[in-house]
Structure 1
């Protein structure tokens, strides 16, 4: 029950501040240069989702 309340509160806050929100672009390094993921074709977007992320 508490989870639903938090979800509703979060959704309400997001709706109240919709005009302040900005689009977030995700960039990735491809062949030595950085490109936004949104410019990828469907196949490349699928490959990007399947990548394994790690920290050194």
Structure 2
């Protein structure tokens, strides 16, 4: 159950990071937001492998 909550939280953080990237005017900031979103996605995948 805690894993489900954690995955949901990470997905929300990933969505927010992507949104910030889309709104950002600075290329560097945009890349940072997308990199953060990708890092959250990697964490989500890792958690799903562990719980599978």
Give the TM bin, normalised by the shorter chain: 0.3 to 0.5
Q: Name the structure with the higher helix share.
A: 2
- Between the two structures, name the one with larger relative contact order (CA 8 Å, sep ≥ 6): 2
Name which one, 1 or 2, has greater alpha-carbon Rg: 1
TM-score, normalising length: structure 1? 0.37
Q: Name the structure with the higher strand share.
A: 1
